[in-house]
Structure 1
Amino acid sequence: MTALLLDDPTSQVHAAAVGWEYPLSREAAALADLFDAFAKANYKKVVPYPRPWSTGPRGRTVGKGTAMTPEEFHAAWAKRVAEVSSQPQ
């Protein structure tokens, strides 16, 4: 059951596991992308539609960002999933 919730971006479990502020459906992500493309084509000053993984002032990027190898990413992901799984409910 937990694996299904981790794979579903609309679940709170997935959002917590990947560090998002809130869950977001695939449809909502697609609509946000369409909105951004429309705004970019029709307006001069464009503010992107907010995403839960935003890297703005409230985002999680430090400095210029970091580049991870796939092995580092998988290790960090496993650690984060273990942390979320071990938290009492």
Structure 2
Amino acid sequence: MKKGLHPESYKFVVFKDMSNGQAFLGRSTGGSKEMTKWEDGNEYPLIKLEISNTSHPFYTGKNVLVDTAGRIDKFKKRYEKKK
């Protein structure tokens, strides 16, 4: 791999899946103005996710559609067969 290609400023952040409330601690270069207290008692930046491996159908084996903006209904309405 090329040297100097990846950033050196990785820090610990908490990622929270907003669809099921699961959270995990990881390292990222991303930041956030929101902070949260983790299980170890320290505060870390909070990055909110719409979907993660704890809610994605590929990893869970459940086919659940998360439709937060009515996009599925709009799609079905637009492409339904006209009778």
Shorter-chain TM-score above 0.5: no
Structure ranking higher in helix proportion:
1
Q: Which has the larger radius of gyration?
A: 2
TM-score computed with the length of structure 2 as normaliser:
0.25
TM-score (norm 1): 0.24
